[in-house]
Amino acid sequence: MGARRRVFPEAFKREAVERVTSSGLSAGQVAQELGLHETVLRRWVRDLAPQATGPARRPIPQAAVPSPADLAAENARLRRENERLRMERDILKKAALIFRAASR
């Protein structure tokens, strides 16, 4: 016949779930420590873990919104850089034409 199904007390299940949620270990690692199958422990976590109604464990960092003055300054800087790069490109094009004409 098949193996007899193991029955665990509710307190044991809650302690195992608490270990998974508070220790930072994976369910697989805790299951191995306790001699359980990972699927069983994951089911306990799903059924017994407190629902996530509060803040997340790791808050998602919010990017700082730049002020309009900062955006305008950045825009002006980028326009100056763009103009400088266009000048450099034009100079290099002219130099390439000169060297190509000289090599013929």
Residue 87 lies in a domain: yes
DSSP string for 18-71:
HHHHHH---HHHHHHHHT--HHHHHHHHHHHSPP--S--SSPPPPPPPPPHHHH
Residue 59 lies in a domain: no
Residue 61 lies in a domain: no
Q: 42 and 76, same structural domain?
A: no
Q: Average pLDDT of 6-24?
A: 88
Distance of CA 74 to the CA centre of its chain: 28
Distance of CA 1 to the CA centre of its chain: 48
Residue 101 lies in a domain: yes
Q: 74 and 42, same structural domain?
A: no
Whole-structure pTM over 0.75, yes or no?
A: no
Q: What is the pLDDT of residues 16-67, one digit of tens each?
A: 988 888 888 888 999 999 999 999 999 998 888 776 555 556 666 777 888 9
Q: What is the pLDDT of residues 68-80, one digit of tens each?
A: 999 999 999 999 9
Domain count for the chain: 2
Please report, for residues 49, 54, 56, 83, the alpha-carbon distance to residue 13 in angstroms, rounded to integers and kept in the order given: 10, 23, 23, 67
Q: Range of 27's domain?
A: 8-50
